[in-house]
Structure 1
Amino acid sequence: MEIEKDAVTTIFKQGIKIHVIFLLSLFVIAIVITLQSPDPEQVMPKAILVYLLMVACVYSGRWLGKQFPWKKSWLFLILIFCFLTCFFSVAGIFGMAYFLGYKDGADVSALVVITTLLVMLHVFAGTIITVIRMLTRQQIKESRILQYQAETELNLLTSKLSPHFLFNTLNNMYGLSREDPARVPELLLKLSDLLSYTLYSSDGPFVKLKEEVDCIKNFVALEKIRIGDRLALDVHIGGYNPSINIAPMVLIVFVENAFKHAKNTVRGSIQITLKLWADADFVYFELENTSGVQSAVFDNRPSGMGLVTTIKRLDLLYNDAYQLNHGTKDSRYVVKLKIPVHAAH
């Protein structure tokens, strides 16, 4: 998968830079210590030995760390760690004893303890560095894969949602064209604006709140033409920052569903109440219609994909940061939606 390949390539390139910086840093430290000593010629071999021993221990530890995912036996890892510690400790002790001029019978206990501790520390450090790097690389892979899957699912849900919305609007146009053809031109102008929004403005994960509000206004105007005097509409759109971002085709779905099901009210007027406002933290949206029972039934039908996919999109984009309550209350279908402003970037 390309996502995994990019992640590995990036980490590999960064890893080479880190290795070069690490080796150069150790080398510079060895040179500085050598030059600052009273007798550089005597210190130089010891410094080179310590430098090579540290590098060998660290990279041996890195090799050991790479065995961690493959070797489930802790005994194997412990034995290899002990072997590496003993090997490099013996090499370091004999090398330092030679350069320091230790003779037979000399007390080398302090040298043994110090060398062994340094070897263990560097082997362990190399192992830990590798394990952390591998875990980080795995997390990057998983996060990018999850992001890719979320974007793919979001695109699929959006592509299902927009045709559903347009399908219902075209059905309304067809019915009106047979009952009152004179109203069709005005309805086509409104539909043009809706098409522009659904085809262009909703391509990204977020749009400006003003665009969604304008879409709602166009849709409401379209429905007023279709329904006529039977519509008792109460719309309250309060103040809001036009630059606020929101997921596209979210609010309009609830509005579209309200009109779709309220039209099934044969007797009396069609009553729909819509409220929208925003503050610095949240966008608030409330909606009520007079056919709650029918709306609830519609949600379970195959054709009612709009509300289902909208909730899935909200889950993908806002996780648990949004609040949605919808259902029947006193023979009315009520929707209350609260969307965080700062989560939409």
Structure 2
Amino acid sequence: MRFRPIVLSYRQKGLLAELVYLFVTGVLSPLAVGLQIFSQFSFTWSLVLLNIFQLPLIILFYRIFLPYTIGKGKYLLAVVLFPVYILLYELGSRLSSLLMIHFPFIPEVYRNNLLSAHPEDLSKGYFNQSLGYTCLVLLGATSLYVVKLLFKKQHNLSVVETEKLKLELNQLKIQIQPHFFFNTLNNIYSLSVQQSPGAPKMIEGLSSIMRYVIYECRHETVKLEQEVDFIRNYIYLENLRHTAMDLIDFSIQGEINNINIEPLLFMPLIENTFKHALGQHMQDKWVKMVLSVDENELIFQISNAKNLSAKMTADKYGGIGLVNVRKRLELLYPDNHELIIHDEPGIFTVTLVINIS
């Protein structure tokens, strides 16, 4: 079983970064300092608790102060209000000390140390906390704010890129549909000119196929079973044009349930093969298609008899269809697909391998 990395949204990434920062600031840093300067472990946890009480003011700084000043481009206002925030932070620190003094589970010696700083009396000193340490904490909060902005910007760029890819894929999909209908209508016209009894059946089959193309292909993906049914219907229409009904062999290997793919992904390959194999004046015509599915890969291989007197190069085979397929594969399965073309004497084969693990 393959390991699948956890994908987090930009909000989840921001929240995770925030939790890590608060843990380091409120717990890990004071814990490390306390273990160095205190001989009693209870003093260390008291220092940790004191820092935890000050976290709401730090949260206020990067969630309110920074977004409504720096975040809105009001840099001068941020400079003017920063001393006000420092004063607010100092008042919060003094209030935290006063709360700690009245907690009976805090060691008495530690409470006396807090009391000796006179947190209730502003005349005993402007700053109860170290101004340098306060600025260092707020600098860390500013870094957190910048990181969250970067996550949001990355998300916005990803959304724009995704919408751009969807638009391009829709354009490629739309390009297939008129091309497909054009070829099918040409076949119906040919049968009508010949007054073939197969023309009404082909019109009926085309109607069924049109329902799939118009209604199902609006979705980004379809079930592989639906695409297989569509291919079989298209093979039926193609067979009506020929006297022999066994020219096209389509087989499936493996389970095709619970697999979704891009609609009409195989159609350009099928159309080109029908055009260059069954549409040629050859005595021995045949097309063989195999769809193979396992846990990791989806393989679609199509091969056909080739006129020995004609060299069917990749460029001649492809045209609009192969270019379309390549572009869609690059957008849908980047670095997870392989399109292989084999041009051998008497046989032409195209193999599409898609990693679905």
Q: Which amino acid aligns with 1:133?
A: K
Q: Distance in 1 between matches of 2:144 and 2:69?
A: 10
Task: Check whether the contact 1:58–1:126 (CA below 8 A) recurs between aligned residues.
Answer: yes
Per-residue CA deviation, residues 109-133 of structure 1 (Å, 9 max, x unaligned), is xx98961343123221221121012
**Which position in structure 1 is the counterpart of 2:314?**
296
Displacement of 1:297:
3.8
Matches within 5 A, 1:163-178: 163-178=178-193
Name the residue aligned to 2:136: 121
Name the SS of the counterpart of 1:286 in structure 2. strand
Q: 2:228 aligns with which of 213, 233, 238?
A: 213
Alignment equivalent of 1:147, drawn from 138, 158, 162? 162
1:187 is aligned to 2:214: no
Q: Cα distance, 1:231 vs. partner?
A: 6.4
Give the secondary structure class of the aligned counterpart of 1:199: helix
Question: By percentage of residues, which structure has more helix?
Answer: 1
Shift of 1:147: 1.2
Distance 2:66 2:292 in 1: 59
1:60-139 equivalences in 2 (<5 Å): 63=66, 88=86, 99=119, 115-139=130-154
CA distance 1:124–1:225, shift in 2 (3 Å): same
Q: What amino acid maps onto 2:142 in structure 1?
A: T
Q: Match of 2:30?
A: none
CA contact (8 A) 1:58 1:122 kept: no
What's the offset of the Cα at 1:307?
A: 2.5
**What TM-score do the two structures reach when normalised by structure 2?**
0.65
C-alpha deviation, 1:182, in angstroms: 1.6
Structure 1 CA distance for aligned equivalents of residues 189 and 71 of structure 2: 67
In structure 2, the residue matched to 1:35 is: none
Computed over aligned residues only, the root mean square deviation of the Cα atoms, in angstroms, reads: 4.4
Find the aligned partners of 2:56 and 2:250 in 1 and give their Cα distance: 77
**Where do 5+ consecutive residues of structure 1 fail to align?**
1-9, 27-46, 71-79
Aligned-residue identity in percent: 27
Partner of 1:337: 352
Q: How many residues align?
A: 285
Give the partner amino acid of 1:146. E
- Runs of 5+ consecutive residues of structure 2 not aligned to the other structure: 1-9, 27-49, 74-78, 95-116
Q: Pick closer, same or farther for the CA change 1:100–1:245 going to 2, 3 Å.
A: closer
Cα deviation, residue 271, structure 1 = 2.0
CA change 1:177–1:295 in 2 (3 A) is farther
SS in 1 for 2:274: helix
The equivalences for 1:310-321 within 5 A come to 310-321=325-336
Decide whether the 8 Å contact of 2:314 with 2:341 is kept in 1: no
List per-residue Cα deviations over 1:218-242 (Å, max 9, x = no partner): 1112111112239633332234233
SS at match of 1:268: coil
Counterparts of 2:246 and 2:167, CA distance in 1: 39
Structure 2 match to 1:30:
none
Structure 1 counterpart SS, 2:286: strand
Contact 1:161 1:305 in 2 (8 A): no
